Structure 1
Amino acid sequence: MTETYPIRPEDIDLPAFLEELRAWVSLESPTADPAAVNAMADRAAAHATALGLSVTRHPTDDATGDLLIARHGPEDRADEILILTHLDTVHAKGALAGPLPWRQEGDKLFGPGVYDMKSGALMALEALALAGDRTVATVLFIPDEETGTYAGRLAVEAAARKARAVLVMEPARDGGKIVTGRRGSAIYRIEVHGRAAHSGTRPQDGRSAIRAAARLILTLEAMNDPARGIGVNVGVIQGGTTRNTIPALCVLDIDVRLPDRQAQEEVTAAIEALTPVDPDIRFEITGGVSRPAFSAEPGTLALLETARPIAEAMGYPLVPMTSGGGSDGNFTAALGLPTLDGLGPDGADAHTFNEHLLVPSIAPRLAMLANLLITLHEKPARGL
């Protein structure tokens, strides 16, 4: 016998949702513009309040927007559900009036941040309101997720320690799949220091930082292991002053992707142990792990199995996958919290001028989220 759930996709007022979503997308909110992110937080706070949720707001720093928290139920419950979202986007102001205007073409809805992840953030509030007194949950809106959650990470981890499960409203992947794992990431900068000299008159006095960096790049790129999911990318190179000067400095910016804790330890140790072949060259290595690897532990799999029949009852399958990109779910999973990610709508092309969501995916996934909140409150999943 198929279990019934109190909220159905047809209960969702989709036109009202899309009207509010358009207002959110119209407030362009690139991470580097804290005033713009705060304007978006103003709108989200007003909507949360209108839905009957309690709202608090917390400044971070001068370069970052505010943290916003909306909740239903008493504070400081040790068994609440934490919902993670973010209000910042990668798109600079002007995308809306330029290459990525709000528009609908068939089932596709376009706009900066519409898929990643203003729709998911709005869904979190609507689901909390739909669940009402049948849940105790907190929605945490992060202002700087797209640049690494440097200002928001402590808040994420503090909130996670009071929760028993975490739901992340990042968009669905690959045709609606849910995310039960993500590669971790590390960011490194290596400054290669050599010795300047005139390349025509005294080349023997110089020690080329660029030549040493070229050798180093080959070493770094050799750490790539696609079979294991390890990625090491030297993405930016800056060096030299003039064409006739032996370069004294070359700077490498490196992105590292890590599938699990073992790979994280191996690769970061190898990078941090790099030394130059030439004793007259010096490496200055800074950086480290920015997001720990997120693996599908038993608690996360139990959370998945709780959500799976709800999704099926809403009319779609819940298929798990591991994503190459990171999210704030990496932090909560690393703390041992059951974490289910990719709960936002289906769509494609995040971070591009073709970013869009699929409108028919909104109501079923919003209804699933609300029912999951109710189910976790009334009948806690085994293993959570």
Structure 2
Amino acid sequence: MLVADIERLVRCESPSADLAAVARSAAVVAGLGAERLGAEAEIIADKHVRWRFGARPRVLLLGHHDTVWPIGSLETHPVAVRDGVLTGPGCFDMKAGVAMIFHALAALDDLDGISVLITGDEELGSPSSRELIEDEARGCAAALVLEASGPGGALKTARKGVSRYDVLVRGRAAHAGLEPERGVNATIEAAHQVQAVAALGDAARGTTVTPTRLESGTTVNTVPAAGHFEVDVRVWDAAEQDRVDRAMTALQPHLPGAEVTVEGGPNRPPLSRAVSKDLYERACRIAERLGLTPPGELAVGGASDGNFTAGVGTPTLDGLGAVGGGAHADDEHVIVAELPRRTQLLTALISELRAGT
């Protein structure tokens, strides 16, 4: 039944930016959860799905149902199970994890003290769900994130924090052949700024500051009057995130007459191992008691909504979802044989945390 439920979720395509598709997917998530949990969901803003059991939840189960796959991906990447491997767009990241939440909870006799939140905009950076996630996590003893596991089923005990910026450069247009000296070249200014931004990285501290998409100018014979480039920042600790943010917002123009404006800032705080250590060790003890191989652990550069729960001080364990691989790629897949074992571990972990033992 678990595999069938994953297939049901995957067959409802849900690219994050397609609001109608995400609304349809939220309805499918809510319906499936109601069937497995015996309780109706609250659908928030047509995209986020929540269940609360009891007045004071102790455990938050967190996931998302949106994906990076556009409508029509099922035609080229159909849902299938072959040789013990389930495939389909979004199966690993992370619709399998959503179905696992429902099956883990269905195995419990009492759901009091549990909150479930399945959001619909995680792949966009959670612009409309961040506050919801943080509010739901505050006061909980633990947040368990059903994002896909690392290689070999490893849990994710640390994640880098993320900042995003858009550096806007303004110059002055002029004819590139007749009088280029009258212009202020936004492309050249952007080149100076790209170099300054890239120099903010610190390999020794694991800080990456990466200029990415760049646009400048209008025609080949015009000195560019405007341009911009985007910047992706990844850091292991809050102090580095603050350092880079101060440097980014202090950027100054290099060329006389140019203007530089910086938009954006920190998007997700780091998830440090200190926040996940006790939960990870508990999960390993439970696995041994159940006769399962204790999961490994992994620190990753990618972020998740677990960064938000950790950021408000809630102990957080991430990567509890499916074992497989190929997130966002043509070979996205889930190893079917691992699903019952991972769900069994999740059930036992929720039970202990809910009971406060």
TM-score past 0.5 threshold: yes
Query: Does the alignment pair 1:254 with 2:235?
Result: no
Letter in 2 for 1:92: P
Letter in 2 for 1:304: Y
Query: Does the alignment pair 1:376 with 2:353?
Result: yes
**1:40 counterpart SS class:** helix
Distance 2:84 2:133 in 1: 34
Counterpart position of 1:349: 326
Letter in 2 for 1:172: S
Q: Is the 8 A contact 1:134 1:378 kept in 2?
A: no
Distance 2:204 2:21 in 1: 41
- Summarize the Cα distance change of 1:204–1:102 in structure 2 as closer, same or farther, 3 Å threshold: same
TM-score normalised to structure 2 length = 0.96
Q: Is the 8 A contact 2:85 2:335 kept in 1?
A: yes
1:257-272 matches, within 5 Å, as 257-272=234-249
1:321-336 matches, within 5 Å, as 321-336=298-313
How far does residue 38 in structure 1 lie from its aligned partner after superposition? 1.7
Q: Is the 8 A contact 1:28 1:92 kept in 2?
A: yes
Q: Is the 8 A contact 1:88 1:143 kept in 2?
A: yes
Q: Is the 8 A contact 2:85 2:336 kept in 1?
A: yes
Q: Is the 8 A contact 1:57 1:66 kept in 2?
A: no
Q: Is the 8 A contact 1:55 1:69 kept in 2?
A: no
Out of 87, 97, 108, the position equivalent to 2:65 is 87
Letter in 2 for 1:23: R
Aligned length: 356
Q: Is the 8 A contact 2:58 2:140 kept in 1?
A: yes
**2:150 counterpart SS class:** coil
Counterpart position of 1:184: 161
Query: Does the alignment pair 1:242 with 2:219?
Result: yes
How far does residue 154 in structure 1 lie from its aligned partner after superposition? 1.1
Distance 1:58 1:378 in 2: 27
Letter in 2 for 1:70: W
Any unmatched runs of 5+ in structure 2?
Answer: none
Query: Does the alignment pair 1:106 with 2:103?
Result: no
Counterpart position of 1:23: 8
Any unmatched runs of 5+ in structure 1?
Answer: 1-15
Query: Does the alignment pair 1:309 with 2:272?
Result: no
Counterpart position of 2:193: 216
Q: Is the 8 A contact 1:311 1:365 kept in 2?
A: no
Residue deviations 1:319-340 (CA, integer Å, cap 9, x gap): 2221111111101101111000
Distance 1:265 1:232 in 2: 13
Residue deviations 1:59-97 (CA, integer Å, cap 9, x gap): 33xxxx4221124x31x31x5200101010000011110
Q: Is the 8 A contact 1:314 1:364 kept in 2?
A: no
Counterpart position of 2:121: 144
Distance 1:58 1:24 in 2: 16
Q: Is the 8 A contact 2:10 2:91 kept in 1?
A: yes
RMSD (Å), alpha carbons: 1.5
TM-score normalised to structure 1 length = 0.89
Q: Is the 8 A contact 1:168 1:329 kept in 2?
A: yes
How far does residue 135 in structure 1 lie from its aligned partner after superposition? 5.3
How far does residue 204 in structure 1 lie from its aligned partner after superposition? 1.1
Distance 1:352 1:225 in 2: 29
Q: Is the 8 A contact 2:207 2:235 kept in 1?
A: yes
Counterpart position of 1:11: none
Counterpart position of 2:51: 70
How far does residue 314 in structure 1 lie from its aligned partner after superposition? 4.4
How far does residue 39 in structure 1 lie from its aligned partner after superposition? 1.5
Distance 1:179 1:55 in 2: 31
Q: Is the 8 A contact 1:193 1:281 kept in 2?
A: yes
Counterpart position of 2:42: 57
**1:150 counterpart SS class:** coil
Letter in 2 for 1:276: P
Distance 2:334 2:114 in 1: 26
How far does residue 54 in structure 1 lie from its aligned partner after superposition? 2.7
- Summarize the Cα distance change of 1:372–1:106 in structure 2 as closer, same or farther, 3 Å threshold: same
**1:190 counterpart SS class:** strand
- Summarize the Cα distance change of 1:315–1:59 in structure 2 as closer, same or farther, 3 Å threshold: closer
- Summarize the Cα distance change of 1:361–1:95 in structure 2 as closer, same or farther, 3 Å threshold: same
Distance 1:330 1:70 in 2: 21
**2:60 counterpart SS class:** strand
How far does residue 379 in structure 1 lie from its aligned partner after superposition? 4.5
1:270-309 matches, within 5 Å, as 270-297=247-274, 299-309=275-285
Q: Is the 8 A contact 2:186 2:224 kept in 1?
A: yes
Q: Is the 8 A contact 1:180 1:296 kept in 2?
A: yes
**2:284 counterpart SS class:** helix
**2:298 counterpart SS class:** strand
Letter in 1 for 2:281: E
Letter in 1 for 2:170: H
